Amino acid sequence: GRSRARQACCAAPSPTVGSPTATGGEGVKQTRIAVLGASGYTGEEVVRLLALHPSFSVTVLTGETQAGKEFHEVFPHLVTATDVPRLVKTGDVNWDDVDAAFCCLPHATTQEILASLPSHIKVVDLSADFRLRNVDTYAEWYGGAHKAPELQKEAVYGLTELNRDAIAGARLVANPGCYPTSVQLPLVPLLEQGLILKEDIVIDAKSGVSGAGRSVKQAFLYTEIAEGMNAYGVSRHRHMPEIEQGLTDAVGSEVRVSFTPHLMPFSRGMESDCYVKLADGKTADDLRDALAKKYEGETFVKVLPKGQIPHTRHVRGSNYALIGVFEDRIPGRAILICVIDNLVKGASGQALQNMNLINGLPEETGLLQQAMFP
């Protein structure tokens, strides 16, 4: 089934991005796509990925501070993405020209906008606004009351490999955060199968600077970042409740983790090292075998052979996740390493996976780019 899906993804020639009259390989009508917040990194990455998509046509790009500009004026490297529309303000969008939207706006700005959209528009939201089911938890961690609690009830959490069936029938998908994606892919299946304990999970994670967004901030200047690394959000990073929500669902009882992220001096890439306690009688080999079976046949999640260490450079620019499993030198413990590109599988690539699903397309469509190396 998946091999046929991959063939279907590649069979059709890619239309020009933004051309509303372009059709797929079999003359299928194009789905008209809006990218809200297209002047940021995740919005740009959506547009880049859609350049290879046979069935989606970009008809609207929004960017409040960049409205009126051509897209290549904001992102010169995409001057070859022809026929992309000019950026406009969200208030000037004609929603009759839109079938589906990627929402790449900052948290707290998304709720009211999505609540006001016509009901026919399918949405994948890349902000944090609809990831947490409990709106009180959202208010605690994001510093303000949720402004669309009824819409929150409709949202489906979009970690594709773990929630595929529910995503396929959704109108609003809450795309996962980058860190939660890299943590839940290795841990959720093992917790569900009782192969590791829910207690004393320690997560040491690292991200490239693009994870902080495109806004100019002193902490992210070259001289502040280069030739060093630093922890941030220690014990209070906003992805913690999202991680714990997913792990709690896997076990059926509350899970609390120790999670410390670090900022690294490279543009893109993410690694999460998860230190876990083994269930009685289980070994690191058992964990590797279970993950290999879980993700057998999956296009984008690969469990590496014993002894092979995942590298962030081996997923750069791609939608792939690589997982390695290692025995700890402390008896009864194991180490799981997961690497992703924080802008692709950690954001825009997974969003495209989900948009494909909710539009009835093979989820790999437009996403089979291999990693860029060196």
Active site residues: 178
CB 242 within 8 A of CB 184: no
Residues pairing with 124 in the sheet: 102, 173
**What would the two tokens of residue 260 be?**
């410390």
Q: What is the Cα–Cα distance from 275 to 264, expressed in whole angstroms? A: 20
Exposure on the CB side of residue 336, measured as CA atoms within 13 A:
34
Query: What one-character-per-residue DSSP string does 299-363 give?
Result: SSEEEPPTTPPP-GGGTTTSS-EEEEEEE-SSTTEEEEEEEE-TTIIIIIHHHHHHHHHHTTS-T
**End-to-end alpha carbon distance in the chain:** 32
The residue among 80, 84, 72, 102 whose CA lies nearest residue 22 is 84
Q: What is the Cα–Cα distance from 295 to 232, expressed in whole angstroms? A: 32
CB 255 within 8 A of CB 191: yes
DSSP letter at 273? E
